[in-house]
């Protein structure tokens, strides 16, 4: 009796289970389909290059990476929201006996979601190289074999998402290398200077750490870093 009342009231436990499962995948989608991965890796490398292991704290770096990601992804997310249907199918009340209409409405809902997330596909395509996507297509065909499933394309999410993740990691490490080298040069120069002055007992890190922080602040490092990361997606 209670089950019929819940169903007639429009509550669908299967739909709720799918919604909850989708919410658990949101952090994974945030990392794998947006600029968050590259920005967070670059910020971590910069912190290690400065030589301060806990400043800024990891939570602050993640917050900075999330803020920069929202700044970069704002046009894409705005287009995604504009493509969502106003009256989402599957959210209206239905009679319990209306199974065919319910399945058709679910299919329409999935089609609407696929249409809404097309800007995300375009964002990942614009930030991956065609030859790298082709490598993942060839790898998929080799791994899956011929005739098992439809031949993958470079625009399919199953190929595009891992290609995007690898590309973002590669670019993050390249940017991190460029940012790390000046700090290493400062450490080497100060180490040789202390050695020439006969101050072997003084750790170079004691002198280089405040100097690196001072130079980073004077050069407006955080603003320049934010500007460079954002412009890399222009």
- Per-residue pLDDT, 173: 92
**Cα–Cα distance for residue pair 91/106, rounded to 1 Å:** 10
- For 103-132, the pLDDT digits (tens) are 444 444 556 666 767 788 888 888 888 888
Is the residue at 8 inside a domain?
no
Q: What is the gyration radius of the CA atoms in the chain, in angstroms? A: 25
Is the residue at 172 inside a domain?
yes
pLDDT exceeds cutoff 70 at 98:
no
Give the number of other CB atoms < 10 A from CB of residue 74.
10
Is the residue at 49 inside a domain?
yes
pLDDT band for position 153 (cuts 50, 70, 90)? confident
Is the residue at 74 inside a domain?
yes
The string of DSSP codes covering 110-146 is HHHHHHHTHHHHHHHHHTS-HHHHHHHHHHHHHHH-S
CA distances from 26 to 23, 33, 36, 126, 195 (A): 5, 10, 13, 22, 52
Could you tell me what percent of the chain has a pLDDT over 70?
A: 72
Q: Are 53 and 186 in contact (CB under 8 A)?
A: no
**Cα–Cα distance for residue pair 91/81, rounded to 1 Å:** 17
Task: Please give the tally of structural domains in the chain.
Answer: 1
Is the residue at 132 inside a domain?
yes
- For 193-226, the pLDDT digits (tens) are 877 777 777 676 777 788 888 888 888 888 888 8
Give the number of other CB atoms < 10 A from CB of residue 14.
8
In terms of Cβ atoms closer than 10 Å to its own Cβ (0-12, 13-18, 19+), residue 62 is middle
Cα-to-chain-centroid distance, residue 207 = 36
Is the residue at 186 inside a domain?
no
- For 52-89, the pLDDT digits (tens) are 777 788 888 889 889 889 998 888 888 877 777 655 44
Q: Which residues form the domain of 135?
A: 37-86+100-179
Q: Hey, what are 149's tokens?
A: 């499933």
């Amino acid at each position: 009796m209670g089950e019929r009342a819940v169903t007639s009231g429009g509550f669908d436990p299967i739909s709720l289970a799918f919604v909850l499962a989708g919410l658990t995948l949101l952090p994974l989608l945030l990392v794998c389909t947006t600029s968050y991965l590259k920005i967070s890796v670059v910020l971590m490398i910069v912190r290690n290059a400065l030589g301060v292991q806990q400043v800024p704290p990891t939570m602050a770096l993640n917050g900075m990476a999330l803020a920069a990601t929202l700044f970069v992804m704002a046009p894409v997310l705005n287009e995604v929201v504009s493509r969502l249907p106003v009256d989402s199918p599957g959210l209206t009340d239905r009679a319990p006996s209306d199974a065919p209409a319910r399945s058709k409405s679910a299919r329409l809902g999935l089609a609407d979601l696929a249409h809404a997330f097309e800007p995300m596909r375009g964002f990942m395509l614009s930030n991956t190289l065609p030859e790298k996507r082709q490598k993942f297509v060839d790898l998929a065909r080799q791994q899956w074999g011929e005739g098992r499933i439809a031949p993958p394309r470079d625009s399919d999410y199953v190929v595009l998402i891992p290609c995007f993740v690898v590309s973002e990691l590669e670019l993050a490490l390249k940017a991190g290398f460029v940012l790390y080298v000046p700090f290493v040069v400062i450490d080497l120069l100060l180490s040789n200077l202390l050695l020439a002055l006969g101050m072997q007992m003084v750790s170079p890190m004691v002198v280089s750490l405040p100097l690196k922080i001072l130079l980073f602040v004077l050069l407006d490092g955080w603003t320049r870093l934010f500007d460079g990361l954002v412009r890399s997606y222009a």
